[in-house]
């Protein structure tokens, strides 16, 4: 098991700290997007959500799909990063899957979200990655 995201469509979500204040919510402090796909991004909405589909990776923990909602309020663009204010990751099973670590990050596959296709693609396939770039393979972890 692994992941393969074409560089052109690769979006990374990084954070400096994760705070689990409630069972279903993780606050992502100093959160930002980076990756090759940013060269094709014109402007993000100041307030928005993305549905991140971790189903393939978290199947060992959850017996059906696992889609987490990433939301933010506030955006600041720099040449190589997009910083997100008040970033929150939410899912009813957030306390069942492994907790996010400071140096982990999420790789998001944006393929299928080009302007002409975006409204027909409801989720973004996503993968939790260790700080050294290795995909988490949770089989055998449970």
Cα distance between residue 83 and residue 39, in whole Å: 15
Query: What is the total residue count of the chain?
Result: 142
Q: Is 38 helix (H, G, I), strand (E, B) or coil?
A: helix
Cα distance between residue 97 and residue 66, in whole Å: 10
Whether 17 shows a pLDDT value over 50: the answer reads: yes
Average pLDDT, the chain: 85
- Cα dihedral sign, 135-87-20-15: positive
**What are the extents of the domains in the chain?**
7-129
- Cα dihedral sign, 94-99-103-108: negative
State the pLDDT at residue 1. Answer: 41
Segment 51-89, tens digit of pLDDT: 999 888 887 787 778 899 999 999 999 989 999 999 999
**Confidence tier at 129 by pLDDT (50, 70, 90):** very high
């Amino acid at each position: 098991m692994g992941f393969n995201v074409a560089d052109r469509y690769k979006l990374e979500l990084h954070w400096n700290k994760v705070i689990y204040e409630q069972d279903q919510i993780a606050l992502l402090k100093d959160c930002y997007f980076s990756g090759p796909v940013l060269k094709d991004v014109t402007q993000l909405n100041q307030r928005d959500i993305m549905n991140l589909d971790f189903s393939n990776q978290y199947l060992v923990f959850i017996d059906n799909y696992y889609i987490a909602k990433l939301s933010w309020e506030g955006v600041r663009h720099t040449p190589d990063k997009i910083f997100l204010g008040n970033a929150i990751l939410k899912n009813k099973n957030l306390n069942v899957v492994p907790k996010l670590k400071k140096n982990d990050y999420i790789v998001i596959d944006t393929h299928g979200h080009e302007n002409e296709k975006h409204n027909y693609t409801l989720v973004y396939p996503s993968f939790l990655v260790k700080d050294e770039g290795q995909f988490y393979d949770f089989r055998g972890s449970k």
